[in-house]
A and B are shown apart, each in its own frame.
Chain A
Amino acid sequence: MTTPTASSKYFDFRNALTNNRIAGIWRMMSDFRLPYAAATAALAISAAAKTCTYLLLGYFADKVLTQQIYVAGTLNKTLALIGAGFIAFAAIEGSFSYLSGRLAAFTAEGITRRLRDFLFDHIQRLSFSYHSQTPTGDLIERVTSDVDTLRRFFSEQAIGMGRVIILFAINWAAILTLNTRLGLLSVVVIPLILVVSLWFFGKLTKRYEDYQAQEAILSTTLQENLTGVRVVKAFARQGYEMSKFEKDNWGKFLKGRRLLIMQSLFWPLSDVVLGFQMLFGFVLAATMAIRGEITVGDYLVYVGLVVWLIWPIRNLGRLIVQTSTGLVSYGRLMEIVKQTRESLTEGRVRPDGPVRGDLIFDHVSFMYEDGKVDALKDISFHVKPGQSIALLGSTGSGKTSLVNLLPRFHEYTGGHILLDGEELKDYSREYLRRQIGIVQQEPFLFSRSIRENIMYGIGRQVTMDEVERAAKAAAIHDVILTFPDGYETLVGEKGVTLSGGQKQRVTIARTLLKNPRILILDDSTSSVDTETEAEIRAALNELMEDRTTFIIAHRIQSVMGADVILVLDKGQVVQMGTHDQLVAHENGIYRQIYEIQTRIDEALENEVASVN
């Protein structure tokens, strides 16, 4: 099922890794550079058409209205022609602006789609240790909001800056052609407005963050109040809560006002600066027109164009500030992208059939990447195909670390593990994981139907009949039938909530379907009540039939039947043998544990006897 072609389904963003963020963004755009260039070109054509509209207006005023030159013969025909010209220019401007918008959207959404696909796949192929060290919330934050910031960079900021610059260039060129002095004097304040708007939007961003922070405080207060409603009511603290909320609520109002003052100052202030620049240009142009240095038509052209020259500049500051956040997001995403994946396919040994399940641990040791002490030290034992081996020990004794080595979730750092005589590291992870089934202590189910959860990851077509047989063997079939939609019932928020024991039996059914040669049972029935414990045990026994089985256990009861028992402490094997052998060993830990558990049973009997 697993094919190496998976990575060809999307663009590999590891190619976009570079220290130069601009260059990185350029690389991200591969395949989309042409549409994006076309979008920019269309934008330029559209802007030129707009400029032409005003040029036509000037022509109309000078040639037709003032000099009464009729190109089409009569006035009416000329007017019709010019009217049609206006419509034609508008049509060109409109179609190309549409084309530009569409191409830019195509680029932005296209890059975003493949970025999402890549990140999703990349993350699920990163190693166990990466996932252990990275909080889910942080990853989610990056793959959602940072991706969206980048999307906006492509769809709004990059193209928006292009638009401002093109509008400026084309219209300025047109005005300069009209009259150089006029052109130069029309842009005097532009550097000023650019600097001011940069400063302003930087400031505004900060105030906005303040406002958002206050909103977060308000939400926390609200959330705590609503989830703690019983405490609030029990202490009759409604009044106190109201005044606490009032403080945060009013705080948000004040922060909002601070933000607002900044916002409401910028527009009118820049209006004044730009307005006077325009007025200055108008007076200058009008004077020149009166003196005959330019025609009335030229004046009209100038008045029309200067609007498109000056006003868009005001937005440039905002766009630049936003772009910088886009670059930050690029950096945050690349931190994920640069993590190395674990290879699923590499491995020298590729048997055709399933493994037999003969495992030899030969002085195996293991240390976590960030660890200081060995999590496992000098572990040696031998399990034959179909045998069961129990690992007994307290939390942190290394039981889980040991079984995590088998599917190569982690790599052992010393010694050898031989599976059917071959070094475990020489098998591909893909092959190993197909051979190994895991039933976890706290099973994870996906929010989809129970049927899909049982079929999850089986990797072949499974009939409903098979699913039901597995469920029956796992003693969960009858429970499933009591749910409103049977096997189609959704698990989780929108469907049923399963108890710990029920979840465990669903995963047992899944593992039965998978039919692995090696089985890992993280046996914890402590949270399950007595009746289900028996059912789960029966289901597990069914599962263990002819498979090499590792059982992680906390209680003697669960390990007694195992072929080999390893007692682990601080990453080392302190005792090994069958139940009978270990019990016979007077000073061993196993014997001690066994005795305590016997003593507990005696104490209980005594207590019950004493009340009789």
Chain B
Amino acid sequence: MSDELIQIEEEEYTSNLTAAVFKRIMGLMKPHMHWVVGFFITIALTSCGDAYFTYLNKEIVDTGISLGNPAAVIHIATIYGSLILCQAVTVFSFVFLAGILGERIQYDLRKMMFNHLQELSLSYYAQNAVGRMIARVTSDSGRVADLMTWGVVDTTWAFMNITTSLIFMAIINWKLALIVSAIIPIMMIVAVQFRKRILVEFRRSRRANSKITGAYNENIQGVRVVKALQREDENLREFQTLTNTMFRASYRAAWLSALFLPTVQIIAAAALGAIVWYSGDQIRLGAMTIGGINAFVSYLTFMMWPVQDLARVYAEMQHSIASAERIFKLIDTPPEVHDRPEAIPATTILGEIEFDHVHFYYEDRNPVLTDFTLTVNPGEMIALVGPTGGGKSTIVNLLCRFYEPCQGVIRINGRDYTEYTLQSIHSRIGIVLQTPHLFSGAVRENIRYGRLDANDDEIEAAAKVAGAHDFIARLEKGYDQNVGEGGNLLSVGQKQLISLARAVLAKPELFIMDEATSSVDTLTEALIQRGMEALMKGRTSFVVAHRLSTIRRADRIIVIEGGRIAEQGSHAELLRLRGHYYRLYTQQFRHELEAQYGVMKEESEEEALAAD
């Protein structure tokens, strides 16, 4: 819903049509020149054919009927028939070519953007909503492709049609053709003005529509509060102002559209009237025939469609170009974290890790991490604790080199880690996130993500080490069970076990774990603990810790508050201080033991639905 609003807002941003952008858009066609050329040729042929049909009709009247010549009728009909068959081929070709070109350009754009998104740094993801990126890849690419195909189809067809019609009219009678050519600009101006107004209303109605969806959504989700507070009538009143706005905008858009065609038609009829009035002299002079008049009527009637199409393309073009600009902006964003030219692959990262006066911020005024200094010995286990938003995740992200320090240096084995290649660092890190992220597909494939060339035995072995094997074996389809979108068919604990197995399989040298805050049942919890222990053996590890058992096991505990180290030391040392750590610890202690003793243990979820 909110994604839709984002899109609507973006559409309203009007871009300056720069020649450079337009050129770049057209450049997208280059790899598919064979289709482009074929498509221009077939569309040109089609519109010539269309105009020629009308001319043949005139010939039937003038050389067939007027002269009483049945043979001529048959002759013309033969040409007409062959033309129908030829048209079938050209119409098929241009519809197909335009369509395939559109699909292909969309494909190209999506691929280009997706691949670039893989290279972009985490900071880009932190600053841009996923909804926007998705809009770029899906709807913006579609809009650009539409401009380049149906926009071009309509424009070409319209121009060709108007031109060929005018040529044929000029052949029949050039003076009358001049009258017609005079009204074309008038028709165009009227059409464009209409289109613009319709588009404004249309967008207004889309905006109202997305607000309506939002209102539905909120009212249904909050229906219990609405009922408890008896807000029904007031809500309906508010909703009705939305539906009224929607009604006004869509009604206006609809009747403007209904007015549009008749207006163009009447302008065309005025030209027709002028032609009839003027034709008297021409007929007397023998410059005009009955068939000719009829042909003019046809040409005029069918000239309205191209005018309409041109107006539509013109009105929508700006938005497609704005879409293209946004796409190019994404593609042109350089990744902030990238390999230095002289970067070398790290042979190992199992060594001393040193944060040396590291500062990190997105904006200068808002430091996320200030003057962070820490040296970690190989094989050491560090627990990071502290309130949410204190900077724990930032430390982990810096360590993984998802971000790089704004000031200060991070050294691995005594060497600034930016001197290593990203690939060599990342491939040696195992990570388990707080909200474990799985990909839709089989359990097996999710574990294999840790090492793509692992065979099924290795996957199973890793699952056993991580303590995930037993629950996987109990799944209906075992390792082939689908985990659902984002792993949603599994519980948080199960997801975490699978991501542990995934990390085990990767055989990392540095292990990073962000513990889940939400409660996991006791058995799973014990399994996770055991899996973690297995993973930490002989490795340096960083754990953003919430569980007492994890915290107690750490070699060193770092308490982070407000982007700084508040306290650090061993469990015993910190407890003795009776400071930040003491408070955090006692709170967690009560919490966990209550759960452990089953004071209020979870029994069933039956009631939860009605309860919330």
Would you list 29 pairs from A and B whose C-beta atoms are within 8 A, ordered by A residue? A2-B230, A6-B233, A6-B236, A60-B276, A79-B276, A84-B273, A105-B258, A131-B223, A131-B224, A155-B254, A223-B134, A236-B422, A238-B118, A242-B115, A253-B104, A253-B106, A264-B96, A272-B88, A283-B73, A286-B60, A286-B64, A287-B70, A394-B602, A440-B225, A457-B229, A510-B229, A530-B587, A600-B590, A607-B575
Q: Is B14 an interface residue (CB 8 A)?
A: no
Report whether A113 and B423 are in contact in the complex, using a CB–CB cutoff of 8 Å. Answer: no
**Contacts of A261 on B, CB cut-off 8 Å?**
96
Q: A246-B111, A264-B95, A604-B589 are in contact. Are A276 and B84 (CB under 8 A)?
A: yes
Known: A57-B294, A131-B220. A401 touches B258 (CB 8 A): no
* CB-CB under 8 A for A459 and B440, given A87-B269, A117-B239: no
The chain B residue sitting closest to A61, CB to CB, is B290
| Chain A residue with Cβ nearest B297 | A57
User: 12 new A-B pairs (CB below 8 Å) besides A1-B233, A232-B118?
Assistant: A105-B254, A120-B239, A123-B223, A131-B224, A132-B610, A222-B138, A229-B122, A235-B449, A268-B92, A276-B84, A290-B64, A401-B611
Residue of A nearest to B213 (CB): A144
With A60-B276, A101-B255 as contacts: A226 and B117 at CB distance below 8 Å: yes
A267 and B98 alpha carbons, distance in the complex (Å) = 14
Q: How far is the CA of A116 from the CA of B133 in the complex (A)?
A: 31
> Among residues 237 to 263 in chain B, which have CB atoms less than 8 Å away from a CB atom of chain A?
239-240, 243-244, 246-247, 250-251, 254-255, 257-259, 261-263
Name the B residues within 8 Å of A441 (CB-CB): 612
- Residue B412 interfacial (CB < 8 Å): no
Would B103 and A256 count as touching, CB distance under 8 A?
A: yes
- Tell me, rounded to whole Å, the shortest Cβ–Cβ distance linking A162 to chain B: 14
Tell me which residues across on chain A come within 8 A of B452, comparing CB atoms: 237, 240
Task: Return the CB mask of A378-413 against B: 1 if under 8 Å, else 0.
Answer: 000000000000000111111011001001011000
* B60 x A271 contact (CB < 8 A): no
A66-B290, A235-B426, A267-B91 given; A444·B221 CB < 8 A: yes
The residue on B at minimum CB distance from A145 is B213
Do the beta carbons of B429 and A105 come within 8 Å of each other? Answer: no
A395 with B220, Cβ < 8 A, contacts A97-B258, A234-B429, A253-B104 known: no
**A607 CA / B235 CA spacing, docked (Å):** 55
Q: Which residues of A contact B440 (CB under 8 A)?
A: 220, 224
**A324 contacts which chain B residues (CB < 8 A)?**
none
What residues on A are CB-neighbors of B576 within 8 Å?
A: 611-612
Q: A253-B103, A593-B599 are in contact. Are A268 and B88 (CB under 8 A)?
A: yes
Q: Please, what's the 1-or-0 string for A97-118, where 1 marks a CB less than 8 Å from any CB in chain B?
A: 1101110111011101100110
Q: A269-B88, A286-B65, A611-B571 are in contact. Are A375 and B230 (CB under 8 A)?
A: no
CA of A215 to CA of B137, assembled, Å:
11
Cβ contacts under 8 Å, A116 to chain B: 212, 239, 243, 246
A196-236 CB mask vs B (1 if < 8 Å, else 0) is 00000000000000000001001110111111111111111
Which residues of chain B in 430-451 are interfacial with respect to chain A, using CB atoms and an 8 Å cutoff?
Answer: 430-431, 433, 437, 439-440, 449-450
CA separation between A442 and B222, bound complex, in Å? 11
Q: Are A105 and B297 in contact (CB under 8 A)?
A: no
CB distance from B176 to the nearest CB of A (A): 13
Task: With CB as the reference atom, state the residue of chain B lying closest to A126.
Answer: B223
Instruction: Flag whether A65 is at the interface (Cβ < 8 A).
Output: yes
A226 touching B95 in the complex, CB below 8 Å, given contacts A86-B272, A289-B65: no
A136 CB within 8 Å of chain B: yes
- In the complex, the answer to whether B276 meets A82 with C-beta atoms within 8 Å is yes
Task: Decide if B64 touches A434 in the complex (CB within 8 Å).
Answer: no
One of A180-188, A299-307, A479-487 at the interface: A299-307
A contacts with B, residue count (CB < 8 A) = 163
A237 to B431, CA, bound (A): 13
Question: Interface on chain B toward A: helix, strand, loop, or mixed SS?
Answer: helix
- Asked if residues B100 and A98 are in contact (CB atoms below 8 Å), the reply is no
B458 interface contact, C-beta 8 A? no
A299: which B residues are within 8 A, CB to CB? 61, 65
Choose one: B64, B247, B602; the contact of A109 (CB below 8 Å).
B247
Query: Are A86 and B276 closer than 8 Å at their CB atoms?
Result: yes
The verdict on B603 contacting chain A, using a C-beta distance below 8 Å, is yes
Give the distance to chain A from B551, nearest Cβ to Cβ, in Å: 12
Q: Does B279 contact A79, Cβ atoms closer than 8 Å?
A: yes
The answer, yes or no, to whether B305 is at the interface (CB within 8 Å) is: no
The A contact surface, by secondary structure, is helix
B218 touches A (CB below 8 Å): yes
Q: Which of A126-171 contact B (CB under 8 A)?
A: 128-129, 131-132, 136, 139-140, 143-144, 155
Q: Are A249 and B111 in contact (CB under 8 A)?
A: yes
The answer to the question of B29 belonging to the interface, with a C-beta cut-off of 8 Å to chain A, is: no
User: Can you name the residue of chain B whose Cβ is closest to the Cβ of A283?
Assistant: B77
A249-289 Cβ-contact flags toward B at 8 Å (1 or 0): 11011001100110111011101100110010011001101
Q: Could you tell me if B224 and A234 are in contact, using CB atoms closer than 8 angstroms?
A: no
Asked if A260 and B99 make an inter-chain contact with CB atoms under 8 angstroms apart, the answer reads yes
Residue pair A395, B228 in contact (C-beta under 8 Å): no
- Are A238 and B119 within 8 A (Cβ)? yes
A401: contacting residue among B77, B261, B429, B610, CB under 8 A: B610
CB nearest to A119 among chain B residues: B216
Query: Quick check: is A550 within 8 A (CB to CB) of the other chain?
Result: no
B65-A89 in contact (CB<8A): no
Cα separation A434 to B229 with both chains bound (whole Å): 7
Q: How far is the CB of A518 from chain B (nearest CB, A)?
A: 12
8 closest residue pairs by CB, A with B: A101-B258, A457-B229, A94-B262, A90-B269, A105-B254, A83-B273, A400-B611, A268-B88
Contacts of A456 in B (CB 8 A): 225, 229, 231
Q: Answer yes or no: B375 CB below 8 A from chain A CBs.
A: no
Does A3 sit within 8 A of B, measured CB to CB? yes
Chain A contacts for B262, CB-based, 8 A: 93-95, 97-98
Question: Within the complex, which residue of A139, A215, A224, A436 is in contact with B485, where a contact is CB–CB below 8 Å?
Answer: A224
List, in ascending order, chain B residues with CB within 8 A of A410's CB: 610
* A393–B297 CA distance with the chains assembled, in angstroms: 86
**CA gap between A371 and B139 in the complex, in Å:** 45
- Contact status A597-B227, CB under 8 Å: no
A447 at the interface (CB under 8 A from B): yes
Instruction: Verify if A26 is at the interface (C-beta below 8 Å from B).
Output: no
Specify which of A117, A155, A230, A245 is in contact with B236 (CB 8 Å cutoff). A117
Query: Would B600 and A87 count as touching, CB distance under 8 A?
Result: no
For residue B576, give the distance in angstroms from its CB to the closest CB of chain A: 6
Partner of A143, one of B84, B216, B431: B216
Mark B120-146 against chain A: 1 for CB-CB distance below 8 A, else 0: 001001000010011001100000000
Q: Is B69 an interface residue (CB 8 A)?
A: yes
CB proximity of A62 to chain B, nearest CB, Å: 9
B77 in complex: contacting residue of A263, A282, A433, CB < 8 Å:
A282
Distance (Å) between the CB of A255 and the closest chain B CB? 9
Q: Contact partner of A125 among B232, B284, B601, CB < 8 A?
A: B232
B575 A608 Cβ-Cβ under 8 A: yes
- Residue B407 is within 8 A (CB to CB) of chain A in the complex: no
B263-295 residues at the A interface, CB under 8 angstroms: 263, 265-266, 268-270, 272-277, 279-280, 283-284, 290, 293-294
Does B219 lie at the interface of the complex (its beta carbon under 8 Å from any beta carbon of A)?
yes
- Cα–Cα distance between A226 and B118 once the two chains are bound (Å): 9
A361 at the interface (CB under 8 A from B): no
**Among A80, A132, A136, A529, contact of B277 (Cβ-Cβ < 8 Å):** A80
What residues of chain B lie closer than 8 Å to A493, measured between beta carbons?
2
Q: How far is the CA of A69 from the CA of B398 in the complex (A)?
A: 95
How far is B236's CA from A108's CA once the two chains are assembled, in angstroms?
21
**Do A124 and B235 have beta carbons less than 8 Å apart?**
yes
In the complex, the chain A residue whose C-beta lies closest to that of B606 is: A396
CB distance from B438 to the nearest CB of A (A): 8
Interface positions, chain A 439-465, Cβ under 8 Å from B, are: 440-442, 444, 446-447, 456-459
Q: How far does the Cβ of B235 sit from chain A's closest Cβ, in whole Å?
A: 6
| B15 interface residue per 8 A CB criterion | no
Which residues on A sit within 8 Å (CB–CB) of B57?
A: 282, 303
Question: B485 — nearest CB in chain A belongs to which residue?
Answer: A220
Contacts of A303 in B (CB 8 A): 57, 294
